Amino acid sequence: MGQIVFIPRELDPNEPRVAASPETVKRLAGLGFDVIVEKGAGLGSRIPDQDFAAVGAAIGTAADAKKADVVLKVRRPTDAELKGYKPGAAVIAIMDPYGNDAAVAAMAKAGITAFSMEFMPRITRAQVMDVLSSQANLAGYQAVIDAAAEYDRALPMMMTAAGTVPAAKTFIMGVGVAGLQAIATARRLGAVVTATDVRPAVKEQVQSLGAKFLAVEDEEFKAAETAGGYAKEMSKEYQAKQAALTAEHIAKQDIVITTALIPGRPAPKLVSAAMVASMKPGSVIVDLAVERGGNVEGAVPGKVVTTGNGVKIVGHLNVPGRVAASASLLYAKNLYAFLETMVDKTTKTLAIKRDDELVKATMLTDGGQVVHPAFAKAVEEPRTAPAAIPATTMVADAAAKPAARKKAAAKPKGTA
């Protein structure tokens, strides 16, 4: 009997995704693993048990986790799940460790080797394993679909004998993977799209998708990107200039989608209550960062809020999970590609190379210890709620003086 890979049913009722697909189960078997899928694990992603069984998986129960050498999950295991894992098992999932030091410490205490997929380095070799990109891509798409559903008007311009329907004006704030897909989807649906970001490198990408780029371009802006490709936190001075440029723009928009996240930090505030109040009745804002504190003042996790002036603020949780059938297929491939790098092809067994750059970047716990440098104190000082780092208001003041806005806009247009 080969080593066992276990695919559990996710316990969170708001998590319909699953960590395997029939394709990846078949490929795992080809690597030499015996695969056990918990009964009903794929139903939320439209994958019935018989589809897994047809490619060689055994359909089991949660108790089968005790036999597993590898557990593939979507979300971090709960304390109850950890009790069912054998020490030394490799558990690979989206671990969401920031601010959850006690949970990280619990994984170390359970003796598992835990890997956090969202820490996968952004290098060429790891592109196929990049869960943040695969899931954010779908989140950006779904954000536009959700916005269109709430907007309850046509997005494209339509010229008819009875008159012309104007195109919806859509503004994307934050142009990472989710933002780029939101731009592309909104453009396909016929909206007039503008976008903003603090990173210079994305201007060309925005324009290549047929959208107009909006940003304050100064010396700080030109250096506003980390080596990993993420946005840097901007100074108060830059935030004020960006606010002056965008406040009037937001007031004219029909749809605003915010996507800005900074790893390990609360989401930066992009849209103030005054900006929301300046928008037309029937306008829609979709906040993709609502689970991290939100980019929009007034956004409520898990709810669609209608403000006093008739603006809808959409705060859906787990947006990739709203297209679970697609999200699971991509996520399963991310997991398989990573696990494959840790398999000895000769012996067909798990052989974790702890000096491998992918392993070093993603391994949270190993041998009863927290080994990731960012969380090394989790065992000694476990805490469930670290002191909150206040979210930064990147676009802070909807009441910016027009003169300030014009001064900012007079600068040459730049990349974000």
**Domain check: are 184 and 302 in the same one?**
yes
Among the listed ranges 85-99, 199-213, 228-242, 328-342, which one has the minimum average pLDDT value? Answer: 228-242
Model pLDDT for residues 85-122, shown as the tens digit of each residue = 999 999 999 999 988 999 999 999 999 999 999 999 99
Instruction: Identify whether 207 is a catalytic site residue.
Output: no
Give dist(CA 253, CA 296) in Å, integer: 15
Q: How confident is residue 401, by pLDDT bands cut at 50, 70 and 90?
A: very low
pLDDT of 412: 40
Asked if residue 414 is part of any domain, the answer here is no
**Domain check: are 404 and 369 in the same one?**
no
Asked if residue 384 is part of any domain, the answer here is no
CB contact burial 335-359 (16+ within 10 A = b; e otherwise): bbbbbbebbeeeeeebeeeeeeebb
Asked if residue 330 is part of any domain, the answer here is yes
Shortest CA distance to 81 belongs to which of 97, 65, 105?
65
Instruction: Identify whether 85 is a catalytic site residue.
Output: no
In total, how many domains does the chain have?
2
pLDDT of 247: 87
pLDDT of 162: 95
**Domain check: are 261 and 399 in the same one?**
yes
Give dist(CA 352, CA 20) in Å, integer: 20
Domain limits for position 36: 4-129+323-375
**Domain check: are 36 and 66 in the same one?**
yes
Give dist(CA 405, CA 70) in Å, integer: 55
Model pLDDT for residues 282-316, shown as the tens digit of each residue = 999 999 999 999 999 999 999 999 999 999 999 99
Instruction: Identify whether 130 is a catalytic site residue.
Output: yes
**Domain check: are 226 and 78 in the same one?**
no
**Domain check: are 56 and 182 in the same one?**
no
Instruction: Identify whether 181 is a catalytic site residue.
Output: no
**Domain check: are 357 and 295 in the same one?**
no
Instruction: Identify whether 336 is a catalytic site residue.
Output: no
List the catalytic residue out of 21, 133, 134, 239. Answer: 133
> Which amino acid would we find at residue 21?
S
CATH number at residue 368: 3.40.50.720
**Domain check: are 81 and 210 in the same one?**
no
Give dist(CA 65, CA 70) in Å, integer: 9
